[in-house]
Amino acid sequence: MYRSVYFPPELEQFRQQLRRFIEVEVVPSAKAWEAEGMTPRPLLRRMGELGFLGLRYPEAYGGSGLDTLATAVLAEELGRSTFGGFAITVLVHTDMASPHLANFGSDAQKDRYMPGIVAGDIITAVAVTEPGAGSDVAGLRTRAVRDGDEWVLNGSKMFITNGVHADLYFVAARTDPDAKGSRGISMFCVEKGTPGFSVGRALAKMGWRSSDTAELVFDACRLPADCLLGEENKGFYAVMRNFQNERLVLGAQAIGEAQKALELTLDYVKTRPAFGGVLWDKQAIRQRLSQRWAEVAAARQFVYHAAWLDAQGHDCVREVSMVKATCGELVNRVLYDCQQFHGGFGYLEDAPIERMVRDARVHAIGGGATEVMLEEVAKRL
């Protein structure tokens, strides 16, 4: 492994620590988690103990106070685990849900929840997507109405990662029915067990099987006034701000998956007998893998650069949208070729490549479909 100009020695040391943890404490057990449909809570608490869940949060809450580059390392290494469901369980908690509290929560809200979030005692989910509104946040129909000292929440959410087993949910709802489009949306903190809030159903998925995904239902769910997260009617801007972090994280995860798939495939083709030699002897295979290796190397540097731009405080919506679109499509091309070169073995359920193919597909869909990302790029050309 060579050092990147983007990472100081301490982040490279963190990378190695995280990689060893995944090899020892995740990979040997994670196949069972696929069957169980979830990543176990003790493992998440263990990650909290080691400091993996609070990289960018203040030391006052148990975090490390690092920046976006640390996020890129975390996501890339989790992607290399070959278990996308495990990776996304962690990343939703660390970089897609809990940042809503870190960025917009009151001191009282952060004092109440952040130490548990960093420790892995409180697992989080973010509930924005609905059956009729995903990347188009302005189309949300879930409503929250003020009633004295309470808010009354009604509606449903769909495709919510960590939706079954989370403890704390950050929920987007329309609070001004007369406001048009993106105006009039607010965010709320909703604890599991709040009357009127229930998990409608757990959702079976093509991939990411060690990640629980759910439909959420809010039926006259009453929340105290202090559950409002940030400013009333300003939730759309909170969602948009965190979309950038989410999309960068997903790009880094995809690159980790693609690189690991190439390494597994290289090992396989160099030992698989074929036609008096091994598959690596075939020029078509050598060149295709070399091409994909080059594409992943280039995309990885783009991910790092976008993370650096964000860490420096630059407006990088265009670059992050490019990262999400590029990496989401690239990981699927890479996994297609890797499965092809594994032949029949790559089609068996016991093969990591078969699982990785299923897990990769969602990278072009979730967190902003490729087409949506390209429109964001086009607006800024």
Going residue by residue through the chain, which has 381 residues, state the pLDDT in tens, using 9 for 90 and above.
Answer: 556 788 999 999 999 999 999 999 999 999 999 999 999 999 999 999 999 999 999 999 999 999 999 999 999 999 999 999 999 999 999 999 999 999 999 999 999 999 999 999 999 999 999 987 666 666 789 999 999 999 999 999 999 999 999 999 999 999 998 887 778 999 999 999 999 999 999 999 999 999 999 999 999 999 999 999 999 999 999 888 898 999 999 999 999 999 999 999 999 999 999 999 999 999 999 999 999 999 999 999 999 999 999 999 999 999 999 999 999 999 999 999 999 999 999 999 989 999 999 999 999 999 999 999 999 999 999
Instruction: Give residue 4's pLDDT.
Output: 75
Q: What is the CATH number of domain 237-379?
A: 1.20.140.10
Instruction: Give residue 246's pLDDT.
Output: 95
The pair phi, psi for residue 69, each rounded to 5°, is -65, -35
Instruction: Give residue 70's pLDDT.
Output: 97
Instruction: Give residue 222's pLDDT.
Output: 97
Rounded to whole angstroms, what are the CA distances from 83 to 52, 186, 207, 257? 17, 34, 9, 9
Instruction: Give residue 2's pLDDT.
Output: 54
The pair phi, psi for residue 187, each rounded to 5°, is -110, 145
73 vs 197: CA distance, rounded Å: 35
Selected catalytic residue, list 76, 246, 257, 376? 246
Q: Give the start-to-end residue ranges of the domains of the chain.
A: 9-122, 125-232, 237-379
Instruction: Give residue 138's pLDDT.
Output: 67
124 vs 100: CA distance, rounded Å: 10
Rounded to whole angstroms, what are the CA distances from 305 to 69, 84, 285? 9, 24, 30
Instruction: Give residue 136's pLDDT.
Output: 66
Give the global pTM.
0.95
Question: Would you say 300 and 257 are in contact if contact means Cβ atoms under 8 Å apart?
Answer: no
Catalytic site includes residue 12: no
Architecture of domain 125-232: Beta Barrel (2.40)
Tokens 């020695």, residue located: 9
Nearest to 244 by CA among 322, 327, 361, 128: 322
Instruction: Give residue 350's pLDDT.
Output: 84
- The CATH number, out of the four listed (3.30.2130.10, 1.20.1640.10, 1.10.540.10, 3.65.10.10), of the domain defined by the range 9-122: 1.10.540.10
